[in-house]
Structure 1
Amino acid sequence: MFAVIFKATIRTLDKEYSLYANQLRELAMSKYGCTDFVSSCEGNQELAISYWSCEQDIARWHNDPLHKRAQQLGKDKWYLNYIVEVVEVKRSYSNERVVS
């Protein structure tokens, strides 16, 4: 399993951002095999983490035309700066209990 970690300093987030964010989350999960996607904003910081089964799916997602357009809008108006990290998850565990 792989995770893509996106960390950004927000310049401004507008209605167009919200529309893109919702579309892109759905697209990542329905077309490119993203298995989970969580994001949060606090102050002027945004953090988003998405989970993927393989790096090929991440590369296909990265090159999607709608995602490319959103990347450009992010550079031009939504973010002051950002960093993207692609990491391999070596271990994962939780304290969730299965209830029958």
Structure 2
Amino acid sequence: MYAVIFKAVLNKRDSRYFETAERLRQLAKVKYGCLDFIAFTDDDREIAISYWPSREQIAAWKDDPEHRQAQHLGRTNWYRSYKVEVVKIEREYRND
């Protein structure tokens, strides 16, 4: 399993930002096999973590046309800066 960690410093968020984020979250899960997607915002910082079965699914998601359009809007409007990390999960511990 893999995780994509998206960290951003926010510039501004508008109604389109929230609509786009929700739409993309659903698209990632339904069309590309994202297992889980969580996001947190604190003041002007955001972190989102998505979980994926394979790197191929991550790559397909990255190249989705709607996602690419949102990436452009993120660079030009919504984020001052951002960083993406793709990590392989070696081990998981749980206490449900």
The number of equivalent residue pairs is: 96
Partner of 1:53: 53
Q: Secondary structure at the match of 1:9?
A: strand
C-alpha RMSD of the superposition:
0.4
Identity among equivalent positions (%) equals 48
Could you tell me which runs of 5 or more consecutive residues in structure 1 were left unpaired when the two chains were aligned: none
- TM-score for the superposition, normalised by structure 2: 0.99
- TM-score for the superposition, normalised by structure 1: 0.95
Larger radius of gyration: 1
Runs of 4+ with >2 A deviation: none
**Residue 38 of structure 1: CA displacement?**
0.1
CA offsets per residue over residues 13-63 of structure 1, 9 Å max, x none? 110001100100000000000000000100100000000000000000000
Partner of 2:3: 3
Partner of 2:31: 31
- Amino acid in structure 2 at the alignment position of 1:81: S
Separation of aligned partners in 2, 1:95 and 1:85: 26
